[in-house]
Amino acid sequence: MRVELDVARCQGHARCLALAPSLFDIDDDGFGRVLIDGEVGTSDIEAAKSAVINCPEGAILIVE
């Protein structure tokens, strides 16, 4: 399972960072970025799903 962030859709709400800080960060321009190489460990699966559901721009995708 991997997470991807579509930077073209991201508007910098930072909910991803709040909900899944082990997976996401905010870059110097205020937009989200994936911290890891995209591969989600077992312990972060629920956080990843929460970030997907709560991103208001639909910018986060889970790829199985």
Exposed, middle or buried, 41 (CB in 10 Å: 0-12/13-18/19+)? exposed
Question: Which one of residues 23, 47, 48, 60 is an interface residue with ligand SF4 (CB under 6 A)?
Answer: 60
Question: Which one of residues 1, 2, 13, 35 is an interface residue with ligand SF4 (CB under 6 A)?
Answer: 13
Max intra-chain CA distance, the chain: 30
The answer to whether residue 48 forms part of the interface with ligand SF4 (CB under 6 A) is: no
- State the Cα–Cα distance between residues 21 and 24, nearest whole angstrom: 5
The answer to whether residue 40 forms part of the interface with ligand SF4 (CB under 6 A) is: no
The answer to whether residue 11 forms part of the interface with ligand SF4 (CB under 6 A) is: yes
The answer to whether residue 10 forms part of the interface with ligand SF4 (CB under 6 A) is: yes
